[in-house]
Chains A and B, each alone.
Chain A
Amino acid sequence: MSPEIAAPNAEVVAPTTAPVSEAPSVVFDVRELDVYYGEFRAVRDVNLQVLQHEITAFIGPSGCGKSTVLRCFDRMNDLIESARVDGKILYHGIDLYDPRIDPVEVRKRIGMVFQKPNPFPKSIYDNIAFGPRLSGNKGNLDDIVEHALRRAALWDEVKDRLKKSAMGLSGGQQQRLCIARAIAVEPEVILMDEPCSALDPIATARIEDLMQELKSDYTIIIVTHNMQQAARVSDRTAFFTTEVNSESDTRTGVLVEFDSTDKIFSAPADERTENYVTGRFG
């Protein structure tokens, strides 16, 4: 009768994605990672891979260990006396926690942007030039500063007041300044720990746009409380949650699910992820 009715047993062929000619390279390979503060195990059994030129988001309730894991990537946990890491984080195949690795070198390649913008109480110019000066960069500082500010989409707003204090910038501008400061030392990876939580929606949208521009040159890992932000900006999402040990009354963070962001927000495999992303559990 009507031609659009499928024939009996018609096979419907779903469109397939074209084969990827080259697999994206793995920047971080996290294997069986546990993080301890003294005897207390803060996070356990984290396994995930961070791919180059992707944005990876870490989401989960407070205390789930997402920031703790983020801080392992640039060895910031070293700054806490009692912190200890078990398992491995391979950075391009090299064990980040090998005793021969210099944490200062690690932090040159892996920049961090924090929740609250934290510019130095110096001029805009000096904020950007600080890192390159420290690392003895012989290039033209003016060029480095301009390039970093342009990459952070801040140049046009500050080019006429480079010698003015960075503290006079708005919160959103300060955060982009911090991103420019991270970029100025030419890192490969930018870690962001809730970079927009202190910003208004417009400033947040600017940072999100900027992240999309930066990912062609950098690999980005972002911790965010804003699930819509993770859904908007990231390629892959890791959902962490907290386990409660009733006897010792301690809480340990655990990685529940790590998959493409599309999958996590459309059809997550684990019920705990589903409950969290749909907002059923706070």
Chain B
Amino acid sequence: MNAPRITSLADSAEVEQVRQQYTSELEQLALQVELMGVLVDENLQRMRTVLNAGDLNVAEEAIRTDDRIDAMNVSLMERSYELLRREAPVASDLRLIVSVLRVTAELERIGDLALRIAKLAPEHELLTRVPAAIDILETLAEHAVNQYRDALRAWSTLDLGLAEQVASEPEVAMASRHLVEALLAYEGPDAVVVALRTMVAGQALDRIADHSAVLGARVRYLITGDPDHLAAEVR
């Protein structure tokens, strides 16, 4: 005699899956965050173009895109609040929605920082007066954008290993000190204004990398639900 087939009621065909509308709304929400992330990525690319060539048209486009990013942030916030109010979500659903709120806030912030650099376009020439400094800025930009892209990829693939890697990415070694040293070594009547603009860009790039690390930590929490991972987000 064969062993009887035992199935959980939850697995059996007689119980149809319920709340399909809600499920698809959650899927849409996660997807919209990814789209917002892609817009931010485009602006990061524009930021690099400005750093490299000071293109004013690119800077204008970045400003327009940032408005779209902000509008998406508001819309995703509203949808998240609506789902919280209507569905009283728990477990992974709750983690997803609170993570959407956190992630969209981080994305919006990263977008603002990218814009801050893009807006330096009219003064781009100032940034190039210290060759060592612009080299460091470009290195920082590459590092920050790579880290951001990994974070976004971790969000869309829910890759725990990648999320962990992004969350614990070390900063570019000594970059901050080297930048200051390069600026201090520069002498000229415009030394102060050059140093100020360069530091604005350097700090913004640094913050972008930092916010990307928070994204990684948040994706890790979204996947594991481990309270320790929530605590690790506070840096």
Q: Which among A4, A12, A276 is the interface contact of B10 at CB below 8 angstroms?
A: A276
Q: B131 at the A/B interface (Cβ < 8 Å)?
A: no
Expressed in whole angstroms, the Cα–Cα distance for A13 and B230 within the complex equals 11
Q: B185 at the A/B interface (Cβ < 8 Å)?
A: no
Residues of A contacting B8 with CB < 8 Å?
Answer: 241-244, 272
B94 to chain A: closest residue by CB = A266
Stretch from B13-21, B52-60, B74-82, B156-164 that touches the partner:
B13-21
B5 and A5 contacting across the interface, CB-CB below 8 Å: no
Q: B235 at the A/B interface (Cβ < 8 Å)?
A: yes
Within 8 A of B (CB), among A233-282: 241-248, 251, 265-268, 272-282
Stretch from B114-122, B186-194, B220-228 that touches the partner:
B220-228
Q: B150 at the A/B interface (Cβ < 8 Å)?
A: no
Residues of B contacting A282 with CB < 8 Å?
Answer: 15, 18
Q: A171 at the A/B interface (Cβ < 8 Å)?
A: no
Residues of A contacting B92 with CB < 8 Å?
Answer: 267, 274, 278
Expressed in whole angstroms, the Cα–Cα distance for A5 and B175 within the complex equals 13
A5 and B235 contacting across the interface, CB-CB below 8 Å: yes
Q: Mark A37-73, 1 if CB is under 8 A from B, else 0.
A: 0000000000000000000000001001000000000
Expressed in whole angstroms, the Cα–Cα distance for A134 and B37 within the complex equals 71
B18 and A281 contacting across the interface, CB-CB below 8 Å: yes
Q: A1 at the A/B interface (Cβ < 8 Å)?
A: yes
A62 to chain B: closest residue by CB = B9
B168 to chain A, nearest CB (A): 7
A270 to chain B, nearest CB (A): 10
B88 to chain A: closest residue by CB = A228
B210 to chain A: closest residue by CB = A5
A244 and B19 contacting across the interface, CB-CB below 8 Å: no
B9 and A245 contacting across the interface, CB-CB below 8 Å: no
A278 and B7 contacting across the interface, CB-CB below 8 Å: no
Residues of A contacting B14 with CB < 8 Å?
Answer: 244
Q: A8 at the A/B interface (Cβ < 8 Å)?
A: yes
Expressed in whole angstroms, the Cα–Cα distance for A278 and B95 within the complex equals 11
Residues of B contacting A18 with CB < 8 Å?
Answer: none
B116 to chain A, nearest CB (A): 14
B228 to chain A, nearest CB (A): 4
Q: A6 at the A/B interface (Cβ < 8 Å)?
A: yes
A272 to chain B, nearest CB (A): 5
Q: A interface, by DSSP: helix, strand, loop or mixed? A: loop
Q: B125 at the A/B interface (Cβ < 8 Å)?
A: no
Q: A231 at the A/B interface (Cβ < 8 Å)?
A: yes
Residues of A contacting B234 with CB < 8 Å?
Answer: 12
Residues of B contacting A64 with CB < 8 Å?
Answer: 9
Residues of B contacting A12 with CB < 8 Å?
Answer: 231-232, 234-235
B17 and A281 contacting across the interface, CB-CB below 8 Å: yes
Q: Which among B6, B209, B224 is the interface contact of A243 at CB below 8 angstroms?
A: B6
Q: Which among B91, B176, B202, B227 is the interface contact of A265 at CB below 8 angstroms?
A: B91
B225 and A245 contacting across the interface, CB-CB below 8 Å: no
Q: A139 at the A/B interface (Cβ < 8 Å)?
A: no
Residues of A contacting B19 with CB < 8 Å?
Answer: 278-280
A127 to chain B, nearest CB (A): 36
Expressed in whole angstroms, the Cα–Cα distance for A272 and B235 within the complex equals 35
Expressed in whole angstroms, the Cα–Cα distance for A5 and B212 within the complex equals 11
Within 8 A of A (CB), among B1-51: 4-10, 12, 14-15, 17-19, 22-23
Expressed in whole angstroms, the Cα–Cα distance for A157 and B6 within the complex equals 52
Q: A2 at the A/B interface (Cβ < 8 Å)?
A: yes
Q: Which among B22, B202, B227 is the interface contact of A1 at CB below 8 angstroms?
A: B202
Q: B207 at the A/B interface (Cβ < 8 Å)?
A: yes
Q: B108 at the A/B interface (Cβ < 8 Å)?
A: no
Expressed in whole angstroms, the Cα–Cα distance for A251 and B7 within the complex equals 10
Q: A93 at the A/B interface (Cβ < 8 Å)?
A: no
The 5 nearest A-B residue pairs measured at CB: A267-B225, A8-B170, A1-B176, A14-B228, A242-B9
A residues adjacent to B (C-beta < 8 A): 1-2, 4-6, 8-9, 12, 14-15, 61, 64, 227-228, 231, 241-248, 251, 265-268, 272-282
**Pairs across A and B, CB under 8 Å, 21 listed:** A2-B207, A2-B210, A5-B206, A6-B235, A12-B235, A14-B232, A15-B231, A64-B9, A227-B90, A228-B88, A243-B6, A244-B7, A244-B9, A245-B4, A247-B5, A266-B91, A266-B225, A267-B226, A278-B89, A278-B93, A279-B19
